[in-house]
Amino acid sequence: MGEVFTFDHPLIQHKLTLLRSKETGPKEFRELADEISTLMAYEVTRDMPIREVEIETPIQTMKANKIAGKKLGIVPILRAGLGMLDGVLKLIPTAKVGHIGLYRDPDTLEPVEYYCKLPTDINERDLIVVDPMLATGGSASAALQFIKDRNPRGIKFMCLVAAPEGIERVQKDHPDVDIFTAAVDEKLNDHAYIVPGLGDAGDRLYGTK
């Protein structure tokens, strides 16, 4: 079963509190989502392989570490996932980016796909799929399946707020995918919104409500 990593770093928790507050408008919401994503990416990439190379400092030659040419990809789930993309790219600027367009039908709660464009060499890449919200897990599970059908080397899922129901769904459908989240909340409400959550991440990022 995939592991769940919850981030208890004070900076992440502080910024997440500001992000959740209903007083926070779109500009600040975008900035906070970006900053939290960068901080999380630092940990999500902790297991990247390194190799020793020889360099010359101004003083002498030394053996030093470099990342061992690992090919990465970042896949935001549109639209709200875009709010996490630049924050991750700040730390991994050479990663390729794929996009999956999905929205959750408000009546059936089923994910509806409207766009998919992934790097052609996805089978040589380790991917980080990003979406701020893991609610029922329907969107994440569907996105992970589209991606898996193209045989990437490995996949991690990174979100800001997860519900226990969404974690259970991803662990059941995709036991090989680890989940990285800034918080695991209490439950879903009758409209499948995360409680206490932060509301509709896409609307808060882009001011559409």
Ligand X SMILES: O=P(O)(O)OC[C@H]1O[C@H](OP(=O)(O)OP(=O)(O)O)[C@H](O)[C@@H]1O
Ligand Y SMILES: O=c1cc[nH]c(=O)[nH]1
Q: Which residue has the tokens 């794929």?
A: 98
Q: Which of 46, 61, 108, 190 is catalytic?
A: 108
Q: Does 12 bind ligand Y (CB under 6 A)?
A: no
Closer Cβ to ligand Y, 41 or 140, answer by number? 140
State yes or no: is 104 an active-site residue: yes
Q: Which of 28, 35, 71, 103 binds ligand X (CB under 6 A)?
A: 103
Give which of ligand X, ligand Y, Mg ion, none residue 111 binds (C-beta under 5 to 8 Å, depending on kind).
ligand X
Rounded to whole angstroms, how far apart are CA atoms 147 and 176?
Answer: 13
> Please, which of residues 67-96 interact with ligand Y by CB under 6 A?
80
State yes or no: is 178 an active-site residue: no
State yes or no: is 185 an active-site residue: no
Q: Which of 15, 104, 125, 156 binds ligand X (CB under 6 A)?
A: 104
| AA letter at 14 | H
Going from the C-alpha of 105 to that of each of 161, 166, 183, the distances in angstroms are 20, 16, 24
Nearest distance in Å: CB 166, ligand Y: 9
Q: Which of 103, 146, 193, 206 binds ligand Y (CB under 6 A)?
A: 193
Rounded to whole angstroms, how far apart are CA atoms 140 and 170?
Answer: 7
Q: Does 201 bind ligand Y (CB under 6 A)?
A: yes
Give which of ligand X, Mg ion, ligand Y, none residue 193 binds (C-beta under 5 to 8 Å, depending on kind).
ligand Y
State yes or no: is 126 an active-site residue: no
Contacts for 182-191 with beta carbons within 8 Å, 24 or more apart? Answer: 182/6, 182/7, 182/12, 182/13, 182/16, 182/36, 182/40, 183/6, 183/16, 184/4, 184/6, 185/161, 187/163, 188/135, 188/136, 188/163, 191/106
**SS3 at position 171:** helix
Give which of ligand X, Mg ion, ligand Y, none residue 84 binds (C-beta under 5 to 8 Å, depending on kind).
none
Q: Which residue has the tokens 């709010």?
A: 83
Give which of ligand X, Mg ion, ligand Y, none residue 77 binds (C-beta under 5 to 8 Å, depending on kind).
ligand X
Catalytic annotation, residues: 104, 108, 200, 203
